Amino acid sequence: MPSHDFRAPRLFVDVPLAQDARVPLDRDQRNYLGNVLRLAAGAEVLAFNGRDGEWQAAIEGRKRPDGLVVLQQTRPQDRLAELAYVFAPLKHARLDYMVQKAIEMGAATLQPVLTRFTQASRVNTERMRANVVEAAEQCGILSIATVAEPVPLDRYLSQRPADRLLIFCDEAAEVQNPIRSLEKARAAGQGIDVLIGPEGGFAEEERALLLRQPKILRLALGPRIMRADTAAVAALALVQAVLGDWDAT
C-alpha cells in the first residue's frame, strides 16, 4: 500500500473525485483552509470521499480558497473490515471520544443501542457523523464508517444477521484470557459485532437475552471494571489483533 503523507492536510468532500475534477468548498471548509491553516491558492491538500480513494488537489481562488482542482490519485480506495461497534450511548464529550477512537480502531459501523441503564436517551447522530469524518481526516482513513440510528437492544438483536459473531463484553463474565477466547472464535461468523453496555451494566433480562443469541462470545476484559469509553478501546484492540485486520497470519 502506498505510504501515507502525514504532513499534508486532508479534507473529506462528498463529491466524485477524478483527475482534473473541480470540487466546490463549503463555508466551513473555506474557513478551515483559509483562516485556520492559512493556505492560499496553489497550496495542495489531500481530498477523499470514502469511495474514490485519496487524491492530491490544489486550492483554487483569488483572495480565499473557493474550490479544489484534483491533480492525481495518491492512494486507491480500501475497504474496512466487517466490524461493527455496538454501544450504549454516553453523554457529550465522552461519546465524542468513543466515536473517534472506534473509527481509529477500524470500525465500519457504529450502532447505538438503548438499554435499561443507558445514560443518554437522546443521541445526536449528526454530531457522531461529524466526529467520524474528523477522525478519518486526521488519521489517514479512506473509508467513512456508517452511523446507524439508535434502536432498543432487543430490536437490534432481532434484526442483526444471525451469521455474524456477536462479542458481548460482560463485566459479570468469568475473567479468563481474552486472547485465547477470541482465538477459539477465529472461524466463526461473517463479520463481527462488538457490544459494550452502559456503565450501569446490563439488566439481568438483557444479559439472558444476549446469551440466547446464536454465535455469541461472552468476553471479560480483565479483572478491573473499565469506563465504557475505555472498554471500547480495549475490546476493539483485542478483536482487531486476533480476528481483525491487525492479524497478518
Whole-model pTM: value is: 0.90
CA atoms of 132 and 91, how far apart (whole Å) = 16
Query: What is the model's pLDDT at position 189?
Result: 60
Query: What is the model's pLDDT at position 1?
Result: 43
CA atoms of 54 and 4, how far apart (whole Å) = 10
Query: What is the model's pLDDT at position 201?
Result: 86
How many residues are recorded in the chain?
Answer: 249
**Are residues 59 and 40 in contact, defined by beta-carbon separation less than 8 angstroms?**
yes
> Phi and psi at residue 200, in whole multiples of 5°?
-80, -5
CA atoms of 143 and 5, how far apart (whole Å) = 16
Q: Is the pLDDT of residue 249 over 70?
A: no
97-143 residue pLDDT tens = 999 999 999 999 999 999 998 887 788 999 999 999 999 999 999 99
Please indicate whether residue 45 or residue 2 has the higher confidence score (pLDDT).
45
**By mean pLDDT, which of 2-6, 135-139, 224-228 is the weakest?**
2-6
65-109 residue pLDDT tens = 999 999 999 999 999 989 999 999 988 888 999 999 999 999 999
Which three-class secondary structure string do you get for 113-170?
Answer: EECCCCCCCCCCHHHHHHHHHHHHHHHCCCCCCEECCCEEHHHHHHHCCCCCEEEEEC
Per-chain mean pLDDT for the chain: 90
Query: What is the model's pLDDT at position 178?
Result: 87
Please indicate whether residue 246 or residue 22 has the higher confidence score (pLDDT).
22
Please indicate whether residue 199 or residue 51 has the higher confidence score (pLDDT).
51
What does the block give as the cell for 173? 463474565
Q: What is the mean pLDDT of residues 45-50?
A: 97
156-195 residue pLDDT tens = 999 999 889 999 998 877 878 888 888 888 765 689 999 9
